[in-house]
Amino acid sequence: MSSISMAARDRSAIVARLRAAGCVWAEDEADLLISSATAPADLQALVDRRVDGQPLEHILGWAGFCGLRVDVAPGVFIPRARTELLVRTAVTLLGRREAVVLDLCCGSGAIGAAVAATAAGQIRLYAADVDSASVACARRNLQPWGARVYQGDLFAPLPVHLRGRVEVLVANVPYVPTAALSLLPREARLHEPRLSLDGGADGLDVLRRVAVEALDWLAEHGRLLVETGRVQSRAAVAILDRAGFTSRVVSDDDLDATVVIGGCGIRASTGRP
């Protein structure tokens, strides 16, 4: 049997295993696993991990996000396509000016990296997360833009010189209500950190904590951008408004994405940034 025939046979077998394990995009996943393997035994191990239910991104070591290949490690939150709206909104608000950007609850640093890669103006990027594995990924992903990445709880690890200087603060805080965690896909429940998913009883506990402190860190015309679920957006606006913001909501039906924008001088409305 020729090497081409053997490769085709092996791919077909891998696709069949992946499909039987419930992988919807079995053909695409098989190609990615094959291209990532360094030897037949390595390929077998990669396929076994996927069939066992591990996220494809953790197996490959990267996730595609906003046209970038973002490093992700086991136990690190995997960036979702819906978060592209958060990036797009931040870039629109930044325009062409130089600005300080803070990626809070940064996870792998995917949001900060995508903003830095697409912003028209020059930005100075900072990021923070409480999880050590996430911070390690973020430092790798944000190194090309000279970002400073800090480990600690929300604003606590940030240098004091950032107070009052942040033009755009993006915060993809956990917003899944605790009772809904059991409804998440198995991959997320078992392989992503609970602290990156669990937002408390109504999913907005971490947002409340961010809202209390954020105005101290924002520049005079700075903006806070947070991703929420669509059904939570009204409550999220109320939280930001009580904290001293004036807020509005943007959404994208195709991405099933919702972002709340808070800042001084924003006219409350729903629509485009």
How does pLDDT run across 58-104, given as a tens digit for each residue? 999 999 999 999 999 999 999 999 999 999 999 999 999 899 999 99
pLDDT digits (tens, 9 = 90+) for 222-270: 999 999 999 999 999 999 999 999 999 999 999 999 999 998 744 333 3
pTM of the model: 0.89
Percent of the chain, pLDDT > 90? 76
- 3-state SS string over 191-230? HCCHHHCECCCCCCHHHHHHHHHHHHHEEEEEEEEEEECH
* pLDDT tens figures, 159-198: 999 999 999 999 999 988 999 999 988 888 889 889 899 8
- Phi/psi region, residue 89 (left: phi>0; alpha: psi -120 to 50; beta: rest), is alpha
Cβ neighbourhood burial of 22 (10 Å; 0-12, 13-18, 19+): exposed
- Residue 109: half-sphere exposure toward Cβ, Cα within 13 Å: 33
* 175 backbone dihedrals φ, ψ, rounded to 5°: -140, 15
